[in-house]
Structure 1
Amino acid sequence: MDFDQADAVNQAIRQLSLRHRARTAALLAPLGLHPGQEVLLLELARTGPMIQAQLSDALGIEPPSVTLMTRKLEASGHISRTPAPADKRASIVELTDSGKALAERVKQMWCALAEETVAGLPARTVAELPGVLKTLAGNVDTKRSR
C-alpha cells in the first residue's frame, strides 16, 4: 500500500472514530450519561449481574475505569453493587429498576445512532460491516500484542 492510500484509510478510520464518539456523547447527554457508561449498562442488560472484574473483561476496559463508572452509575441510582458472597473484596454489579429503564432508552438511542451511521449504505454492506470492523480491530490487536 502506498502512503496516499494508507493515509486515506487511516484518516477515514480516525474521523469515523472521533465523529462517532462525539455523536454518541451528544445523544447520551440528555440521558445523563457519558460515553462508555452506555456500554456498561447494555452489557448488564444483556448478561445480568456480574462481578466488576468480569465486567471489566467483557467491556475491554481497565478495572479502575469500570470502578469509576460503577460509582457514578450507583450514585445516580442506575446500578447497585453488593459484596460477592465468595469474595468480599469483589463487587457484584446489577441494574436497578431505574437502570433497566435507562438501558431500554439507551437501546433505542443505540439503534438510532447505528441507523444514522450507516444511512445511504446498501443493506448488504450494512450486514457485512460488523464483520469487517471486527477484522480491522483484530488486526490492530494482533499487531499491538507482538
Structure 2
Amino acid sequence: MDFDRADAVNQAVRLLSLRHRARAAALLAPLGLHPGQEVLLLELARHGPMIQAQLSEALGCEPPSVTLMARKLEASGHLRRTPAPADKRASVVELTDAGRALADEVKEIWCALADETVAGLPARTVAELPGLLNTLTANVDTRRSRRGTR
C-alpha cells in the first residue's frame, strides 16, 4: 500500500476511534459513567457474575483498569465484589439491582450511538460492518503472535 492510501486508512480509523469515544462519553456522562465502565456493565449483564481476571480478558483491558472501574461502580452501588469460593485472592464481580437497571439504560444509549454511527450507510454495509471491524481489530491485536515482520 502506498503512503497516501495508508495515511488515509490510518487517519480514518484514528478519527473514528477518537470521535466515537468522545460521543460515547457525552452520552454516558448524564448516567455518571465514564467510557469503559459501560462495557463492563454490559459484559456482566450478558454473562452474569465473573472473576475480575475473566472480566479483564473479556474486555481486552489490563486487570488494574478493571479493578479501578469495579471499585468505582461498587462505590456507586452498581456492582458488588466478593471473594471467589475457589481462590480467596480473586474477586467475583456481579451486578446489583441498580447495576442491572443502569445496564438497561446503557443498552438504550448503545443502540442510539450505533444508529448515529452508521447513519446513511446501506443496510447491507451495516450488516457487514461488525465482521469487517472485528477483522481490523484482530489484524492489530498486540496480544496475538504476529506471523512474520516487515
Inter-CA distance 144–9: structure 2 relative to 1 (3 Å threshold): farther
Gapped runs of 5+ residues in structure 1? Answer: none
Counterpart amino acid of residue 27 in structure 2: L
CA offset at residue 145 of structure 1?
3.6
Q: Which runs of 4+ in 1 moved over 6 A?
A: none
State the partner residue of 1:92: 92
Q: Does 1:134 align with 2:134?
A: yes
Provide the secondary structure at the position in 2 that maps to 1:141: coil
CA shift in 2, pair 1:143/1:61, >3 Å: closer
Question: What percentage of aligned pairs have identical amino acids?
Answer: 84
Cα 1:139–1:101 change in 2 (3 A) is same
- Provide the C-alpha distance between the structure 1 equivalents of 2:3 and 2:102, rounded to a whole number of angstroms: 45
**What's the counterpart of residue 74 of structure 1?**
74
- 3-state SS, counterpart of residue 108 of structure 2: helix
RMSD: 1.3
The secondary structure found in structure 1 opposite 2:81 is strand
How much does 1:140 deviate? 1.1
- Structure 2: which amino acid aligns with 1:41? L
Shift of 1:143: 9.4
Partner-residue secondary structure (3-state), 2:140: helix
Distance 2:8 2:121 in 1: 19
1:1-146 matches, cutoff 5 A: 1-141=1-141, 145-146=145-146
Relative distance call for 1:102 and 1:23 in structure 2 (3 A) is same
Give per-residue Cα distances to partners, 1:62-85, cap 9 Å, x unaligned.
000000000000000000001111
TM-score, with length taken from structure 2: 0.94
Using the size of structure 1 for normalisation, the TM-score is 0.97
Question: Displacement, 1:86?
Answer: 1.0
Q: Which has the higher helix share?
A: 1
Q: SS of the residue aligned with 1:80? A: strand
Matched residue pairs, number? Answer: 146
Alpha-carbon distance in structure 2 between the residues aligned to 1:60 and 1:14: 18
1:55-114 deviation per Cα after TM superposition (whole angstroms, max 9, x unaligned)? 011111100000000000000000000111111111110000000000000000000000
